Structure 1
Amino acid sequence: MDHSVGILTGDRPGLVADAVRSAVTFGIEEEFVFVDRRTLQTIDLGPAAITELGADAAGAVAAEFFPSQIEYATPVCTRTDEALAAILAFRRALAAFADAAGVVVAGTGTPFRTLTRGDDWSGRYAVIADEIAGLAPDHQLNGLHVHVGIADRDAGVRASNFLRPWLPALLALSANSPFWQGRDTGFASWRAIHSRRWTTHSTPPYFADAVEYDDALDRLAGVGATSDAGTINWHARLSQRHPTLEVRVCDAQLDPRSSVALAAIIRALVVEGFDTVTPRPTRYEGWDAAHWHAARHGTSSTLIDPASGHPVPAVVVIEALRSIVERHLDADGRREVDGFFAELERSGTGASRQRRAHAAGELAGLYRSRVAGD
């Protein structure tokens, strides 16, 4: 497997000014699901939560695909502590709402058990549901999306090219969806496997520049369920509404600090990518297969090494990733990232924690205690 030469150090020609890199903004989108405390089946409390919490939240509170879900987006941030404060404030209000309603709200990539629904979508979601047909009832999936500000679309394309081999590792680190319809799937991220059935849910292609990227968008319009650029589901994509690169590979997280740490890692990788010119691949790379492998095993086995393209112990890839991101972290970001990896070493991924809690009959308690960082 031939991958880009020097991907870990890169050819850094100073394409983005230091002042721009040091002030790179970011924002975090988190998705949650309401579930019954006893059965862990989805409960349709999203609209009520939006009504109660939306007016007072810093950032934006919005509906997701199902009424059992809710999405929160932070304000635009420049520092890690800003993002953590916003997420903690919203999650605490969300947890209080769930407690008052007698339910649990969970930061998990898939709910333990879903309520099968019919054709009751409206607006844009109705169009999407019609296009994806029989996939719609299964799309009760929750992700963590990170937007990172870009100087221009060409800088975003360079960062996307650099990110491509690191996306499986990001999925492995964030894997937090082992259950589906009351059963253990055997995967660390079942959300990732579900999502592969969408038209463009995959590693983003390599692009020379923004012109080539936009040409691909034009060619994909009307193909499958790709009705517009907003339905492109690459793991990293240029936002059509904001001057950002949006990284969409991660599962929703049990606790707020994991979300913020992953966002800090992603922002650091994107900043590294601004000044890294990645050569166009000349041979089959296999990053989508690496993504499946990461979804299956999380960090418990091997990951595909971005430098060689071969399986190596997960810790080798994680250490290589840390060596890149550390130089782009602020002090708060370094604290959160170090804490994240320490927790990963102690307790494993979110999927591992969920499995242990389920075996002990304490999964609802795990959801309730972790959603607000208690």
Structure 2
Amino acid sequence: MEDAGRTLGVEEEFLLVDPVTRQVSPAAPAVLATAGDPPGEDGCFHPELLSSQVEHATGVCRDLPELERQLGAGRRKLALAAIAHGVRLLSCGTAVTTADAPITAGPRYDTIAGRFAGVVTDYHACGCHVHVGVPDRDTAVAVVNHLAPWLPTLLALSANSPFERGKDTGYASWRAMRQCGFPGSGLPPWCGSAGAYDAMVGRLVDCGVLVDEHMTFWFARPSGRLPTIEVRAADAVTEVREAVLQAAITRALVRTALDDLAAGREAAPVEPQLGAAAVWSAARHGMTGAAIDPFTGARTSAWDRAGRLLEHVRPALEDSGDLATVRRGLGDLRSRGTGAEHQRRAAARSHGADPTAAVVDVLIRRTAPARNPQEWDGLTRAPVTATQDPDPTEAP
């Protein structure tokens, strides 16, 4: 109970890309073998569904500076391991350009591939998942109910996947649309208890649409393995500071929900069609257009929803000392743009060259930047091309 709503951790999923072709590379087994494990209590590295993906899960953190340190260290170690095998680490919600990458070897991955068939064949989708500690599963389910209306805003703030197969999809988060191919995606259904939640998931497993109880696709869920809420709304974000912003807001949402529950305030269910509309709008526009208020169904702007979210969690942010960090992070996003906006600006600066190459090159440089010009002897940089003109709004 003492740590409820205070401890947090982040899982970041990454792509591995060839710096010459800019296509994904099935190098995960070799990269993970070279990377080993993060030092000390800094979490662990994992394979993901496709052999072109790797994941870093931080250890348990109690403050944002420690989380930021672990995230940066994990990215640097994976980036160096990638370089050793001639590939680069890239943080993005979808692959800008794709190539075939086999499913990761293993019985569970084989079962997933057999169950979902073409949906996972080229599912180069990566997310930023935030875990926040809760005291028990009944509380976890009740907290998820409170989080549901705010999850589309977390998606919009993280939107970082406008391109796939070398084309602009027209969406800020195409990853969210790809995820709709799985059963039970989007906002989590309202449940009155852990028992009711487990029974519902069990029915989906029995129906054959989920591989097991650990493989649900909702934007938030009680973790099946840890005493946490797992929030999975966000695209994989390009920079560490964006992941820290997601974590800070998510923890504040959980703490606000815990305070509401302690005061006897239960969450009202979100009407499913309004929830789906809010998710679609967030995926389509990110922070640059309209948004849907899931409470009322009213059409508003994405930044209005972000402002309401900030007011909703302000007491929790003040209590944790994170208010200034979140304000600064939101201000940076508003002035500089989301990852989707950065990618489109990079494509627009290609001056007739391959726009997707420009996008990949920018993402590589920003995913794990060297702390000084000599740190990696320049090896982390993609080949220098005319597409890499710096954008003054993207200065670190």
TM-score, L = length of structure 1: 0.89
Give the deviation of 1:173 after TM superposition: 0.5
**Matches for 1:287-306 after TM superposition, within 5 Å:** 287-306=275-294
Which residue does the alignment assign to 1:222? 206
The answer to whether 1:348 aligns with 2:337 is yes
Q: Which moved more, 1:181-190 or 1:31-40?
A: 31-40
Which residue does the alignment assign to 2:76? 92
Which residue does the alignment assign to 1:199? 183
**Matches for 1:35-54 after TM superposition, within 5 Å:** 35-54=17-36
1:222–1:138 distance in 2 versus 1, CA, 3 Å = farther
Q: Distance in 1 between matches of 2:368 and 2:20?
A: 20
Which residue does the alignment assign to 2:328? 339
Where structure 2 has 5 or more consecutive residues not aligned to the other structure, the ranges are 351-357, 371-396
**Matches for 1:267-282 after TM superposition, within 5 Å:** 267-276=251-260, 277-281=265-269
1:256–1:118 distance in 2 versus 1, CA, 3 Å = closer
CA contact (8 A) 2:270 2:295 kept: no
Which residue does the alignment assign to 1:317? 305
Aligned AA for 1:345? R
**Matches for 1:353-364 after TM superposition, within 5 Å:** 353-361=342-350, 362-364=358-360
Q: Distance in 2 between matches of 1:163 and 1:233?
A: 15
Q: Distance in 2 between matches of 1:118 and 1:55?
A: 24
Q: Distance in 2 between matches of 1:182 and 1:365?
A: 14
Where structure 1 has 5 or more consecutive residues not aligned to the other structure, the ranges are 1-16
- Helix, strand or coil for the counterpart of 2:333? helix
1:20–1:96 distance in 2 versus 1, CA, 3 Å = closer
**Matches for 1:19-38 after TM superposition, within 5 Å:** 19-21=2-4, 24-38=6-20
Give the deviation of 1:268 after TM superposition: 0.7
The answer to whether 1:237 aligns with 2:233 is no
Pick from 165, 169, 172: which aligns with 1:188? 172
The answer to whether 1:113 aligns with 2:97 is yes
How many pairs does the alignment contain? Answer: 356
Which residue does the alignment assign to 1:371? 367
1:357–1:207 distance in 2 versus 1, CA, 3 Å = same
1:286–1:331 distance in 2 versus 1, CA, 3 Å = closer
CA contact (8 A) 2:51 2:101 kept: no
Q: Distance in 2 between matches of 1:373 and 1:338?
A: 24
CA contact (8 A) 2:16 2:87 kept: yes
**Cα RMSD, aligned residues only:** 2.0
Give the deviation of 1:339 after TM superposition: 3.0
Q: Distance in 2 between matches of 1:356 and 1:250?
A: 21
1:33–1:295 distance in 2 versus 1, CA, 3 Å = same
CA contact (8 A) 1:260 1:336 kept: no
Q: Distance in 2 between matches of 1:119 and 1:258?
A: 29
Q: Distance in 1 between matches of 2:240 and 2:169?
A: 25
TM-score, L = length of structure 2: 0.84
CA contact (8 A) 2:96 2:163 kept: yes
The C-alpha deviation readout for 1:20-40, integer Å capped at 9, x for no partner, is 55x621110000001122332
Give the deviation of 1:94 after TM superposition: 2.2
CA contact (8 A) 1:221 1:227 kept: yes
- Helix, strand or coil for the counterpart of 1:146? strand
Percent of aligned pairs with the same amino acid:
39
1:140–1:119 distance in 2 versus 1, CA, 3 Å = closer
Aligned AA for 1:337? V
Give the deviation of 1:131 after TM superposition: 0.3
- Helix, strand or coil for the counterpart of 2:6? coil
Q: Distance in 2 between matches of 1:87 and 1:335?
A: 20
Give the deviation of 1:283 after TM superposition: 5.5
The C-alpha deviation readout for 1:14-70, integer Å capped at 9, x for no partner, is xxx7x455x621110000001122332101221112111123442110100111110
The C-alpha deviation readout for 1:165-187, integer Å capped at 9, x for no partner, is 11111110111001111101000
The answer to whether 1:135 aligns with 2:123 is no
Q: Distance in 2 between matches of 1:299 and 1:120?
A: 34
Pick from 246, 270, 289: which aligns with 2:230? 246
Which residue does the alignment assign to 2:137? 153
Aligned AA for 2:367? V
Q: Distance in 2 between matches of 1:265 and 1:120?
A: 33
1:93–1:297 distance in 2 versus 1, CA, 3 Å = same
Give the deviation of 1:310 after TM superposition: 1.0
Which residue does the alignment assign to 1:9? none
Q: Distance in 2 between matches of 1:282 and 1:183?
A: 34
- Helix, strand or coil for the counterpart of 1:262? helix
CA contact (8 A) 1:104 1:364 kept: no
The answer to whether 1:257 aligns with 2:214 is no
Give the deviation of 1:224 after TM superposition: 4.0
Q: Distance in 1 between matches of 2:74 and 2:258?
A: 31
The answer to whether 1:168 aligns with 2:152 is yes
The C-alpha deviation readout for 1:132-171, integer Å capped at 9, x for no partner, is 0111213111011111111111211221111111111111
CA contact (8 A) 1:290 1:304 kept: yes
